[in-house]
Chain A
Amino acid sequence: MAGPPATPGRCTAPGLHADPGLQPERTTLAWNRTLLALVVCGALFLRWVPRHGAFPLILSALTAILALVIVAGQARRYRRSARGISSGRTSADVAAVAGTSAAVVLTAAAALLVVVALPVR
């Protein structure tokens, strides 16, 4: 790239790795697919809005926010795993996994609530 070499800034060399298995790319793409699935679920919630009112709308907004949070972390995530691959040591991302798992459990629970408990308008 013809970028200015004089900026010893944020994402220069640490973004590079020599892994022929392309682990950082695959992991980042796996997060990408996951957040797209999340967006699909959020869009499906919109179908409930005419019948159930604001609650599914809030759910839809929350899933969209979660997807945005994942998007915002993608660059950091890639850099971090690339650095981990090249240094031979990485730390498991407990917070991301626990947060995603909990968020999907809660979303499913909320959808269950809509199905069994929410009155149809």
Chain B
Amino acid sequence: MGGSSSAYDGPVTSSSEHRPEGRGAWAARLLGGGVEPDPRFTLANERTFLAWIRTALALLAGGIAVEAFTPAAFDPALRTFLAVTLLVLAMIMALAAGLRWLRVERAMRRRAPLPLPLLVPVLAAGGALIAGAVLVVVLVAPQGGG
């Protein structure tokens, strides 16, 4: 792909002197070549990233809450399992959200098809695992244990 070709009339190759706000060389390198997409698409991509980050934050909050607020409801091993699963899922989501934002941004700059959201099956599987675990515990656990 490479942005070194001068066939683009577009603003972005390797220099950023056209840019009033300027951009670090590392950021330009991360984004690769291509031309700036429609600003609305850039902002939409940013909002999508933020939606994924909020998903990660919700999982993070869930992980903390399960560990910190349910000492009477779950036995320690299960509590730790649920918290660790939620927190690992939160880490994966937050990391993948940033990477996906970058991949989408790069694809838009090259007018290429957008990448598939690999996060969706991961989130679905993780959510199903956690919900299943809680369901089993609720059904199996002796009533009135506390």
Contact A23 B36 (CB under 8 A): no
Docked-complex contact B57 and A23, CB < 8 angstroms = no
Q: Which of A24, A30, A105 is the one whose CB lies under 8 Å from B51?
A: A30
A40 interface hit (Cβ, 8 Å): yes
> In the complex, are the beta carbons of A44 and B49 less than 8 A apart?
no
**Which A residues touch B31, using CB under 8 A?**
92, 94
- A92 to B36, alpha carbons, bound, how many Å? 9
Per DSSP, are chain A's interface residues mostly helix, strand or loop, or mixed? helix
Total residues of chain A contacting the partner, CB 8 A: 45
Task: Kindly state the separation between the CA atoms of A112 and B87 in the bound complex, as whole angstroms.
Answer: 6
- Pick from A47, A84, A100, A115: contact of B87, CB under 8 Å: A115
CB-nearest residue of chain B to A51: B68
Cβ < 8 Å to B, chain A residues 49-106: 80-81, 84-85, 88-95, 97-98, 100-102, 104-105
Q: Are A44 and B43 in contact (CB under 8 A)?
A: no
Contact across chains for A90 and B61 when beta carbons are under 8 A apart: no
Is the pair B63, A92 in contact by a Cβ cutoff of 8 Å?
no
Residues 89-129 of chain B, each 1 if its beta carbon lies under 8 Å from chain A, else 0 = 01100110110011001000000000000000000000000
Q: Kindly identify which residue among A38, A45, A84 contacts B42, using a CB–CB cutoff of 8 Å.
A: A84
A-B contact pairs, 10 of them (CB 8 A): A23-B39, A41-B57, A84-B39, A92-B105, A97-B101, A104-B94, A108-B94, A111-B63, A115-B67, A115-B80
